Amino acid sequence: MATDTPTLPSEDAIQAALATVNDPEIHRPITELGMVKSVDIGDGGAVAVTVYLTVSGCPMRDTITNNVTEAVLGVEGVTDVRVTLDVMSDEQRKELASSLRGGQAEREVPFAKPNSLTRVYAVASGKGGVGKSSVTVNLAASMAADGLKVGVVDADIYGHSVPRMLGADGRPTQVENMIMPPSANGVKVISIGMFTPGNAPVVWRGPMLHRALQQFLADVYWGDLDVLLLDLPPGTGDIAISVAQLVPNAEILVVTTPQQAAAEVAERAGSIAVQTHQKIVGVVENMSGMPCPHCGEMVDIFGTGGGQLVADGLTKTTGATVPVLGSIPIDVRLREGGDEGRPVVLSDPDSAAGSALRSIAGKLGGRQRGLSGMALGITPRNKF
């Protein structure tokens, strides 16, 4: 009596399944990146797939193996999957880097090019301790949750804190002269803290700060970003000047607290835009008050009106209207989210702080959506 012979899966079907697997760092299909070395279909539907890793010891090797296995197992007729990992040759890595750059020269900052559709926001403050990094991280996470492609450069070289606040515990991977940034909560991020051992301090002078920022902007593979946020160090020092030189189209977002002493310093930091010919997109007032835990009444611990004072002063100095984009109340959940690497806009989006931050992010993200709509169907932003 004849028995039905099982239908073997086709290689085309397997390649189609592999095309749904993205490299976890580059975020593009492994088939498109030339990472599929071979596909062998054996008797009985057993499939062997060999995948190239960009570098040996790739930190995402287990993720790639699992994702490839899951995708191929979903093909009709496949009964078993065996994934073998190989490593790209030097020539293959060079070809990959060239492809990702889209033919652009090395050491070129893509966000400074005239045809860039990425909004770049440089988040500045006059002094430390006003919550600038917390604001940056939560704005990035909120915009990413709304569907935008977002990146963050932790440009506060001496006081880097973004990776912890964003929950980014991965390490960058280098492919030739390109750096693949880790992602957390949907946001790509790079920080000098990812390259230093433990909690070691960074002891550099100005020229080294400039080179580090240039490398973060030019050598990191950011892909097609909608928004790039730069968390600047406090004040108007080397990094602020370097940002104006490397990304002259970056718009400044000033963060302050309500008290007059902080507002005066914040206004001073924002006024650098007059000398660098940059636009100030607005002012964010952080720590604007604390709801009483017993009666709910707002307690103005740091006073009131600082954000508006900064906005009015910058409007007068620059000759252009500078709005207050929002006020963020003191909320212990905002601090806890930073310590735990879970931004409050994700962990408790309807809290007072979460709602205020999401509102500000919506305004900034809406400006980018308007820009993209004006592009009339042009989808590529920055190939590198």
Instruction: Render pLDDT for 215-243 as a digit per residue (tens, 0 to 9).
Output: 899 889 998 899 999 999 887 778 888 88
Q: What's the pLDDT at 217?
A: 92
The answer to whether residues 122 and 221 belong to one domain is yes
Helical residues (DSSP H) of the chain, grouped into ranges: 11-18, 61-73, 90-101, 132-145, 162-166, 206-218, 238-246, 260-270, 272-276, 306-318, 332-340, 344-347, 352-374
For residue 88, which of 12, 26, 41 has the smallest C-alpha distance? 26
Q: Give the residue with greater pLDDT, 98 vs 347.
A: 347
Q: What's the pLDDT at 152?
A: 97
The answer to whether residues 297 and 185 belong to one domain is yes
Residue 379 pLDDT > 60, yes or no?
A: no
149 is in an annotated binding site: no
Q: What's the pLDDT at 183?
A: 92
In a domain, 6, yes or no: no
In a domain, 93, yes or no: no
129 is in an annotated binding site: yes
Percentage of the chain beyond pLDDT 90 is 46
In a domain, 383, yes or no: no
Retrieve residue 358's tokens: 């999401």
The answer to whether residues 331 and 238 belong to one domain is yes
Task: Tell me if the pTM is above 0.85.
Answer: no
In a domain, 43, yes or no: yes
In a domain, 335, yes or no: yes
pLDDT band per the 50, 70, 90 thresholds, residue 370 = low
**pLDDT per position as a tens digit, 146-190:** 999 999 999 888 888 899 999 998 888 887 778 889 999 999 999
What's the mean pLDDT in 345-359? 95
Of 182-196, 200-214, 295-309, minimum mean pLDDT range = 200-214
In a domain, 292, yes or no: yes
Out of 57, 88, 119, pick the residue that ends a domain: 88
The answer to whether residues 310 and 219 belong to one domain is yes
306 is in an annotated binding site: no
The answer to whether residues 69 and 150 belong to one domain is no
In a domain, 100, yes or no: no
pLDDT band per the 50, 70, 90 thresholds, residue 369 = low
Residue 80, domain extent: 11-88
Gap between the Cα atoms of 54 and 52, Å rounded: 6
Q: Considering its fold, how many domains does the chain have in total?
A: 2
Q: What's the pLDDT at 283?
A: 95
The answer to whether residues 311 and 267 belong to one domain is yes
130 is in an annotated binding site: yes
The answer to whether residues 250 and 167 belong to one domain is yes
- Mean predicted lDDT score pLDDT of the chain: 86
Q: What CATH number is given to the structural domain containing 32?
A: 3.30.300.130
279 is in an annotated binding site: no
The answer to whether residues 298 and 243 belong to one domain is yes
In a domain, 263, yes or no: yes
383 is in an annotated binding site: no
- Kindly state the DSSP code that residue 85 receives in the 8-state scheme: E
Q: What's the pLDDT at 5?
A: 62
Residue 121 pLDDT > 90, yes or no?
A: yes
The answer to whether residues 50 and 159 belong to one domain is no
Q: What's the pLDDT at 105?
A: 53
Residue 308 pLDDT > 90, yes or no?
A: yes
Gap between the Cα atoms of 194 and 93, Å rounded: 23
Residue 209 pLDDT > 70, yes or no?
A: yes
Q: What CATH number is given to the structural domain containing 285?
A: 3.40.50.300
Q: What's the pLDDT at 177?
A: 75
127 is in an annotated binding site: yes
The answer to whether residues 214 and 284 belong to one domain is yes
pLDDT band per the 50, 70, 90 thresholds, residue 374 = very low
The answer to whether residues 251 and 308 belong to one domain is yes
The answer to whether residues 119 and 170 belong to one domain is yes
| Residue 168 C-alpha from the chain's centroid | 10
131 is in an annotated binding site: yes
Gap between the Cα atoms of 33 and 21, Å rounded: 11
